[in-house]
Structure 1
Amino acid sequence: MTDENLTGPTEPTEPTGGVSWRLAGDPFGHVRDKGQEGPAIQRAFEAFMATRDPGRVREIVVGWWGAGYEGHTSELPVRLLSEAADRLRNVRSIFLGDIEQEEAEISWIEHGDVTPLLEAFPKLEYLHIRGGSGLRLRPVRHEALRTLWFESGGLPAGVVRAVGASEFPALQDLDMWLGVEEYGGDATVADLEPILSGERLPALRHLGLQDSEIQDEIAEAVASAPVVARLEALSLAMGTLTDTGAEALLSGQPLTHLKRLDLSHHYLSDAMMERVRAAFPGVAVDLSDRQEIDEDDEDDWRYVAVSE
């Protein structure tokens, strides 16, 4: 099985325990197909299911499934996993898209509908998806999911709306890298309102609305959002946060109940940074990775941490 960088046991990277397996094809063509049929990721999956005990697997990490420019999307590994869910009965964690920059830029990772993973794995506790191009999600109810994490340079508004329309009674951690419109990140503050209301997220304790080119607008919405009162950690990091957004946070509802406030990768002035630190003395505030500001340049370009 090593001829395709197929599978390998590792220590679990998430708090799920048990055995973890990584499935991936070879993005660099080091291994040449010799009369083998089907995509490499499919052969990897079939070899894994044929030679290992799937009932022992607690975590599955899916790596490179083929180049997006050749029409390969995550729909194939999603289908393979979903169809085998009865045999993978103890899986509690799935990372879809463990693809590094050397293999494909984050916004080159092509997806499809990932809803079948939530439908097929009712006991899933952790779902991590990297890449946003072509990503789709339908509103669902899932009783067990505790962590939902989207990494993208552009998260489609339809996915954001689907999360807001879903019911996740056990969800504690929600992270969304919203990205930029150029790479498909077209969500607005209005799309985030169902999430910010918290009505369908009664257990939420950590919320990350990050990597956005409308980070100031998000900060203004968060400043009066009902869900914030129950949070322990809030992240508005990685985006284009300026003094305008920070002022909204200072003027809004109290945030002193938070344990952590992550504003890293920001465009705050020195004076605003001092005000933020002074306002939240008992909160672990992250103001690292300050970006350079040219206050005399009206066209000074502000960029998010992750886009392409």
Structure 2
Amino acid sequence: MTFADHLETFHGLPVFTLPEPGARSLPAAGDVAWRLDCYAAGDVPFPEVWQSFRERVDSADVRALVIGPWWEDEYIELGPVLELLLADAEGFPALRALFLADVVGEECEISWLELADVTPVLERFPLLEELGVRGGDRLSLRPVRHESLRALRFQSGGLPGSVVRAVGACELPALERLELWLGVSAYGGDATVADLAPILAGGGLPALRHLGLQDSELQDDIAAAVASAPVMAQLESLSLSMGTLTDAGAEALLDGQPLTHLRRLDLHHHFVGEAVAGRLRAALGSAGTEMDLSGRQVPRQWRNEEWRYVAVSE
């Protein structure tokens, strides 16, 4: 699976891609989520895109920022882009949301995106409420305390276990939504179920209401761990979608603590048989829980064995 479309909205704002200079009039700085893209800006280096953005838009009023392709020729790592943003952090007092790597498959596969340490973003923007990151190669995070962050998303075909452990070690008292696409080991997704234990305990995330542990080749084991996790009691929605969930994982959910308090359970892209899926619908449907069991997959045959696959890997 690849991403077919760029973000259309972010942080409740329409996304507006900065055009080439003189191309058209610009909206008010605080009315849109600004997207910076080297291709859309005329195939120029990112430092020139950044300079043009600073000159044409009042950064003091910018509320949301989206970084698209940051290269105009050869792929380069994200680090220099973050250096520019962090160096100008004081010029963005209203910034509340940042999305790194709004890149679709035809521009670069998700596993090829070369990222960086994103910890300084949280350190330099203490009022940030939403952070989204796409990709996993060279991605790193250190444990931090952040008082304002309400939504954190890592979209990856292979999320490093070190990042998962760092998330679990962070203190994020305001965090309401956490979404981790764990991916597969072939693309660097080496997180274990044990790495998720601090998140599932819920101690450092008292405000958490939505948890997504998705796109994993360990989806059955994750489901079993979630079924008895303390954090479940505080959740309003849960996503175990996009991975290799089978009857075993679905039955673990049925046999664990009650899930009827959930408003929504998202299991789309799964390998659950119709009989067990029916039991899930019966158990949760009567309680009014909205369920997504769409996208039932069929295992493929590989060297006389069944092979189950996640939705996003390469």
State the TM-score, normalized to the length of structure 1. Answer: 0.89
SS of 1:271's equivalent?
helix
1:103 and 2:116 matched: no
* Count of matched residue pairs: 294
Equivalent in the alignment of 1:219:
223
1:25 and 2:18 matched: no
Q: CA deviation at 1:19?
A: 3.5
SS of 2:249's equivalent?
helix
Residues 102, 236 of structure 1: alpha-carbon distance in 2 compared, 3 angstrom cutoff: same
* Segments ≥4 residues shifted beyond 4 Å: 3-12, 30-33
1:93–1:126 contact (8 Å) kept in structure 2: yes
- Which one of 229, 232, 238 corresponds to residue 228 of structure 1? 232
1:72 and 2:43 matched: no
1:207 and 2:211 matched: yes
2:247–2:272 contact (8 Å) kept in structure 1: yes
1:291 and 2:297 matched: yes
Q: CA deviation at 1:9?
A: 5.6
Q: Which runs of no fewer than 5 residues in structure 2 stay unpaired?
A: 1-17
2:38–2:72 contact (8 Å) kept in structure 1: no
Residues 254, 104 of structure 1: alpha-carbon distance in 2 compared, 3 angstrom cutoff: same
Equivalent in the alignment of 1:41:
46
- Which one of 57, 60, 65 corresponds to residue 60 of structure 1? 65
Equivalent in the alignment of 1:37:
none
Q: CA deviation at 1:59?
A: 0.5
1:174–1:208 contact (8 Å) kept in structure 2: yes
- Which one of 285, 300, 303 corresponds to residue 306 of structure 2? 300
Counterpart code for 1:148: L
1:7–1:23 contact (8 Å) kept in structure 2: no
1:244 and 2:248 matched: yes
Deviations 1:259-286 (A, max 9, x none): 0000110001111011111111221111
Q: CA deviation at 1:149?
A: 0.7
Counterpart code for 2:66: V
1:62–1:98 contact (8 Å) kept in structure 2: yes
Paired with 1:236 and 1:264, the residues of 2 have a C-alpha distance of: 8
Paired with 2:248 and 2:21, the residues of 1 have a C-alpha distance of: 50
Mapping of residues 269-284 of structure 1, within 5 Å: 269-281=273-285, 282-284=288-290
1:19–1:56 contact (8 Å) kept in structure 2: no
Deviations 1:79-112 (A, max 9, x none): 1111111111100010100111110011111101
Q: CA deviation at 1:184?
A: 0.6
SS of 1:300's equivalent?
strand
